[in-house]
Amino acid sequence: MSGEGRVASGEVRHYRDLVVWQKALIFVERVYAVSRSWPADERFGLTGQVRGAAVSVPSNVAEGCGRRSTPAFINHLAIARGSLAEVETQLILAERLGYLPADERDAVLALADEISRMLASLITKLEERRK
């Protein structure tokens, strides 16, 4: 059974067991990599924004899991999904501004989509467990 399935059944003891958290770390690494070459004058602008939003994804998964409360966990997973949408928007903007090649944007967006689907599935499983 996956880490997410074990969370829904109440068996997971640590967020590091969650595949979605592990993939979110990879996502952060990719966001940092693609934003590394952006203009220096964006360091406190778009670069900082996209990196902060990306870091928020695994951070919220970890924090929610650590709360040991299903409603709190669901809320933090929803926040993580919101942060993913924020990163997606910022990557699209970076591509439109000429900072990011479309193929690199698409690769990171594909991972974001996978993580978003995983978060949605986990939220659904946790909500069903509460019923």
* Cα gap 131→127, rounded to integer Å: 7
**The predicted structure's pLDDT at residue 129:** 86
Residue 53, both tokens? 């939003």
Q: Is the pLDDT of residue 2 over 50?
A: no
- Burial readout 40-51 (b: 16 or more C-beta within 10 A, e: otherwise): eebeeebbebbb
pLDDT in tens, 102-115: 999 999 999 999 99
Mean pLDDT of 23-27: 98
CATH of the domain at 121: 1.20.1440.60
The mean pLDDT of the chain is 92
The total number of structural domains that make up the chain:
1
Domain that holds residue 36: 3-130
Q: What is the DSSP letter of 17?
A: G
- Give yes or no for a contact between 57 and 115, defined as CB atoms under 8 angstroms apart: yes
Q: Is the pTM of the predicted complex or chain greater than 0.95?
A: no
Q: Is the pLDDT of residue 40 over 60?
A: yes
